[in-house]
Amino acid sequence: MGETTEFMQSQIVKDFNRDLEQYHLGPLWEAIPAIMNHEPKPQAEAYLWKWDLIYKKLMESAEIFTPERGGERRAIYFQNPGLTYRQPWGWASTTQTLYAAAQLILPGEKAPSHRHSQGALRFITNGEGAYTIVEGERIFMEEGDFLITPAGLWHGHAHVGDKPMIWMDALDIPVIYSMGGTFFEPYPDQLQQPKKPDNFTSRRYQGGMVRPISDRYASVAPLADYKWSQTVKAIDGLSAFEPDPYDGYAVEYINPSTGETANATIASWMQKLPKGFHTKAHRHTHASIYNVFRGSGYSIINGVRFDWSKGDYFVIPNWAWHEHVALEDSFLFSCSDLPIMEKFNLEKSQALEENNGHQTVKGEFKPVLA
């Protein structure tokens, strides 16, 4: 082994490796240890953004950017500090594969319709009175609602209420950018006009997990808006039983015509952690982005404590040990690249065996504050 290592460090090997570079060729014998790891080593970092800072910066942006001034979407995205080397704009990467942002729309504003090759979702965190229009259906949004906009569908927004409205966006921008598959098209006439009754799809699905018989055949978006009232009812039903030791009481948003994830490339969950509940630690190949919809607590990620409260966002990179502790009844919305990992047969998980499934806390995360 020592002889092999000594040879690989010899001048003849170094000279040959350097010679290959001028022909845009590369030495696999040197590259393998760095690019084919024994287990995932993401460049994305665990990170947390505080709500007070997010809200302050959104309100400052409202004084500068409007749809009419070129700010087509007043959205501030969560740039993972470990991925800023990606150019341009860090690929707007919150994880290795996903983008997330907080978007603000003010009363009376309209955000023009467009469509793109990225799939999108929205989770409504603050306010009321705004709607999104997707393929001619106006969908009025309320706090706690989860909405999808699959790739290629026209969508825009408008606000007819009287209070600012804020929601979380998540898209698979980094994946599509890295694959060279980005297409974007503005709607030819600004904001698309309604072609269907308002809230059409959610009105068709008022029965919950029963579906109109016409939807027994697969459709990309048979249900565009998943209402908070139905989501919390499902979680209340689960709460009569023992919680999952790793995720508490969690439900997944699904496409009712296929039974698969509501968005083809992004999985989305809502989970409840009862007051005092401490999950066990595990790790998995998929990475997750969290919004604290209600409550407070902390998460331990790779031995570092991240304290969170209502409105905060945080990231758990792929293959990172993590566990959660709720200081009060807490609801966490999360989205992940689980469908992508599953499609490539890369999804794996591992439970922490030692210390009764709990990590030793070795540090505490200190967020950047305004």
> Looking at the predicted structure, is the pLDDT value of residue 2 above 80?
no
Residue 72: predicted pLDDT: 79
Return the pLDDT at 364. Answer: 98
Which residue type sits at 130? A
**Paired tokens of 311:** 């409105």
Strand 110-116 vs strand 155-159: parallel, antiparallel, or unpaired? antiparallel
Confidence of residue 347 (pLDDT cuts 50, 70, 90): very high
Q: How many whole angstroms from its chain centre is CA 210? A: 27
Amino acid at 266: I
Alpha helices by DSSP H, listed for 217-261, are: 228-238
pLDDT of residue 5: 79
pLDDT at 130: 97
Instruction: Please provide the average confidence, as pLDDT, over all residues in the chain.
Output: 95
pTM of the complete model beyond 0.85: yes
pLDDT at 4: 66
Which residues, other chains included, contact 255 with Cβ-Cβ below 8 Å and sequence gap of 6+?
Answer: 218, 219, 220, 221, 222, 223, 261, 262
Q: How far is Cα 53 from Cα 370, in angstroms, rounded to an integer? A: 6
Q: Which residues does 83 contact at the CB level (< 8 Å), separation at least 6?
A: 43, 44, 90, 91, 93, 96, 174
pLDDT tens digit string along 52-111? 999 999 999 999 987 776 667 999 999 999 999 999 999 999 999 999 999 999 999 999
Please provide residue 205's backbone torsions phi and psi, each rounded to the nearest 5 degrees. -110, 35
Rg (CA), the chain: 23
Q: pLDDT at residue 153 above 90?
A: yes
How far lies 248's CA from each of 216, 254, 267, 274, 317, in Å?
A: 31, 19, 17, 8, 20
d(CA 314, CA 302): 14
pLDDT digits (tens, 9 = 90+) for 123-136: 999 999 999 999 99
**Rounded percentage of the chain residues whose pLDDT exceeds 90:** 91
pLDDT of residue 210: 87
pLDDT of amino acid 208:
78
Nearest partner of 123 among 256, 309, 269, judged by Cα: 269
What does the pLDDT read at residue 340? 97
The pLDDT of residue 207 is above 90: no
* Per-residue pLDDT, 358: 98
Measure CA of the first residue to CA of the last residue in the chain; give whole Å: 53
**For residue 23, pLDDT beyond 60:** yes
| Residue 368 CB-half CA count within 13 A | 7
Summarize pLDDT for 284-337 with one digit per residue, the tens.
Answer: 999 999 999 999 999 999 999 999 999 999 999 999 999 999 999 999 999 999
pLDDT tens-digit profile of 227-260? 999 999 999 999 999 999 999 999 999 999 999 9
276-315 burial: b if 16+ Cβ within 10 Å, else e: ebbbbbbbbbbbbbbbbbbbbbbbbbbeeebbbbebbbbb
* Amino acid in the structure at residue 207: G
- In one-letter notation, the amino acid at residue 132 is T
pLDDT for residue 1 is more than 60: no
